[in-house]
């Protein structure tokens, strides 16, 4: 476990202290990694102060007058809070509590469960929004988690700097951890701000990724049932 004690008198920026802590523990801290075990809540507030100063510098460098432009006055702090508390919250918050219930009674559910989760993410390359849905399918194992937990887990994985391919893997891994299910599939469909707002400026940049494990990968019938379920969700979902 990391040492979370930060001494003010160090005189170093807190982010540097935490980076050293991560390196000493050989903990990777890429944009898509969760580092909640290494940053306390109190430190997170201090990091928001530090990031505010840094965003002020960026705005100054962009020659935006944050002293007299009323719309730009609080922008640096808004950006700092948004990164830590919203668009990258999945890096700093611990995994959502997904209490599992036993699924071992006589009449236990043995079928497939497919949950549709809306996602908001951000690409690591351009920090542009990624907006989409994940379809998470499992064959129920010995444990069941509440339906909303699938979405909470997916959103916790998404609210980081991600690549869609990695996000798909991350969701599958975390759902496997929370449910103990070995047979599962995750299908993500998303549009990427980095394709729509810059670069090729394509306004229908729909990207699809799929991760299949166990029977979803090896059994043609299970795989078909999963994709049929997704199609039904897309066609008949109640609004
Ligand atoms: Zn991008």
- pLDDT at residue 4, as a whole number: 55
Which residue would you say has higher pLDDT here, 94 or 104? 94
Tokens standing for residue 185: 């599939």
pLDDT tens for residues 147-164?
Answer: 999 999 999 999 999 999
What's the CA-to-centroid distance between 234 and ligand 1, angstroms?
Answer: 26
Q: How far is the CA of 223 from the centre of ligand 1 (A)?
A: 30
How many whole angstroms from 157 Cα to the centroid of ligand 1?
17
Report the pLDDT value the prediction gives residue 10, as an integer from 0 to 100: 66
Q: Is 178 helix (H, G, I), strand (E, B) or coil?
A: helix
User: What pLDDT shows up at residue 109?
Assistant: 84
Looking only at the bridges linking them, the beta strands covering 143-145 and 100-102 are antiparallel
Per-residue pLDDT, averaged over 161-173, amounts to 95
Query: For the chain, what percent of residues have pLDDT higher than 90?
Result: 77
What is the mean predicted confidence (pLDDT) over 89-108? 89
Does 197 have pLDDT greater than 90?
Answer: no
- Residue 89 predicted with pLDDT over 90: yes
Interval between CA 198 and ligand 1 midpoint (Å): 9
Which residues partner with 123 through β-bridges? 162
Separation of CA 156 and ligand 1 centre (Å): 19
The neighbourhood of ligand 1, an ion, using CB within 5 A, equals 123, 125-126, 194
For residue 127, report the distance from its CA to the centre of ligand 1, in Å.
7
pLDDT for position 1: 45
Q: How far is the CA of 195 from the centre of ligand 1 (A)?
A: 7
Q: Please tell me the distance between residue 114's alpha carbon and the centre of ligand 1 in angstroms.
A: 29
Binned at pLDDT 50, 70 and 90, residue 204 comes out as: low
Find, among 36, 48, 33, 39, the residue nearest to 17 by Cα.
Answer: 39
Residues of the chain with pLDDT > 70, as a percent, come to 93
Which pLDDT score is estimated for 104? 82
CA of 83 to the centre of ligand 1 (A): 16
Whole-number Å distance, alpha carbon 190 to ligand 1 midpoint, is 12
What's the mean pLDDT in 24-32? Answer: 97
Task: Quote the tokens at residue 34.
Answer: 């969760």
Q: What is the DSSP letter of 206?
A: E
- In this predicted model, what pLDDT tens digit does every residue of 107-131 receive, in sequence order? 888 899 999 999 999 999 999 999 9
Ligand 1 center to residue 191 CA distance, Å?
11
Question: What's the pLDDT at 206?
Answer: 86
Assign 92 a pLDDT band (cuts: 50, 70, 90).
very high
Q: What's the 162 CA to ligand 1 centre distance in angstroms?
A: 9
The rounded Å distance from CA 177 to ligand 1 centre is 29
* C-alpha distances out from residue 32 to 14, 90, 136, 137, 162, Å: 21, 8, 20, 23, 5
Per the prediction, the chain carries an average pLDDT of 92
Q: How far is the CA of 206 from the centre of ligand 1 (A)?
A: 13
Strands 129-139 and 143-145: unpaired
pLDDT of residue 150: 96
| Least confident range of 63-67, 145-149, 154-158, 201-205 | 201-205
């Amino acid at each position: 476990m990391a040492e979370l004690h930060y001494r003010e008198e160090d005189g170093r920026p807190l982010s540097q202290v935490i980076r050293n802590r991560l390196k000493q523990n050989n903990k990777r801290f890429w944009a898509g990694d969760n580092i909640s075990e290494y940053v306390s809540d109190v430190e997170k507030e201090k990091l928001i102060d530090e990031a505010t100063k840094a965003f002020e510098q960026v705005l100054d460098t962009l020659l935006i007058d944050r002293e007299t432009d009323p719309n730009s006055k609080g922008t640096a702090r808004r950006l700092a809070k948004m990164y830590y508390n919203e668009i990258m919250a999945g890096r700093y918050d611990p995994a959502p509590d997904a209490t599992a219930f036993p699924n071992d009674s006589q009449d236990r559910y043995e079928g497939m469960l497919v949950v549709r989760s809306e996602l908001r993410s951000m690409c690591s390359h351009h920090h542009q929004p990624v907006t989409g849905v994940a379809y998470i399918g499992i064959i129920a194992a010995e444990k069941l988690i509440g339906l909303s937990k699938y979405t909470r887990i997916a959103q916790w994985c998404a609210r980081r700097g991600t690549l869609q391919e990695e996000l798909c893997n991350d969701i599958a891994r975390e759902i496997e951890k929370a449910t103990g299910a070995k047979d599962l599939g995750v299908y993500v469909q998303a549009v990427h701000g980095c394709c729509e707002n810059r670069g090729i400026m394509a306004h229908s940049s729909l990207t699809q990724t799929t991760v299949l494990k166990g029977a979803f990968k090896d059994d043609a019938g299970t795989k078909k049932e999963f994709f049929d379920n997704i199609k039904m969700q897309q066609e008949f979902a109640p609004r």
